[in-house]
Amino acid sequence: MVEIRQKLVLASASPRRLALLNQIGIEPDYLRPTDVDETPEKGELPRQLATRLAKIKAEAALAWSKRDTPWTGAYIIAADTVVAVGRRSLPKAETTEQAVDCLRLLSGRAHRVWTGVSLVTPSGAIRSKLVETRLRFKRLTRADIEAYIASDEWRGKAGGYAIQGIAGGFVVKLIGSYTNVVGLPLAETAALLDGEGYPIRARWSSPLVPAA
């Protein structure tokens, strides 16, 4: 009997999410970023926003896969990460002003990071998971903020920072999944895939070599 290898599509252009999947021996067969409106709806809580955006990204990728025959029936992973202070969702900082506002708000305070993960199964069903991590930043000085802005690490990052870089030195407390803050909670994502029959351990005996 010929074994049919299951295909996996990552519905994201994020190099961080790709690197995280590679970390646990998973190499997507195709990257299919989705273009969706990420504006929060009126009164929408951060956890609701993360869940909704992950699902609509998954739905958009599923619709594409049905039009592109080679990818019909593939597993599809989509995710969205939201940084929140209380009921307020912080933006994915694209300007210096946005990043500075985020860092000033996070300085010396607790905040939460929510990531919604949606998995499309070969049958077209969508399974979802929401993961929360709680963090606290040290009190940031003006020099901290100015130097971090100059690093440009914040650009395009939820909440205006990347924990896997310089901003890891801002975190004085973290409760929950670290990889969730980076952009994809690995334990929960692996559990979703495993539960739906994707062979997550297939390459563990021959680990992937990270790209240089």
| CA-closest candidate to residue 20, choices 155, 183, 147 | 183
Cβ-proximal residues to 89 (8 Å cutoff; 6+ apart), any chain: 40, 44, 46, 49, 82, 83
d(CA 209, CA 212): 9
Q: Which of 29, 80, 144, 152 is catalytic?
A: 80
Structure-block tokens of residue 70: 């080679």
Structure-block tokens of residue 166: 């310089």
d(CA 152, CA 164): 14
Q: Is residue 101 annotated as a catalytic residue, yes or no? A: no
| CA-closest candidate to residue 183, choices 53, 6, 42 | 53
Query: What is the distance of C-alpha 160 from the center of its chain?
Result: 14
Largest CA distance in the chain: 65
DSSP character at residue 70: G
Task: Show which residues are catalytic.
Answer: 80
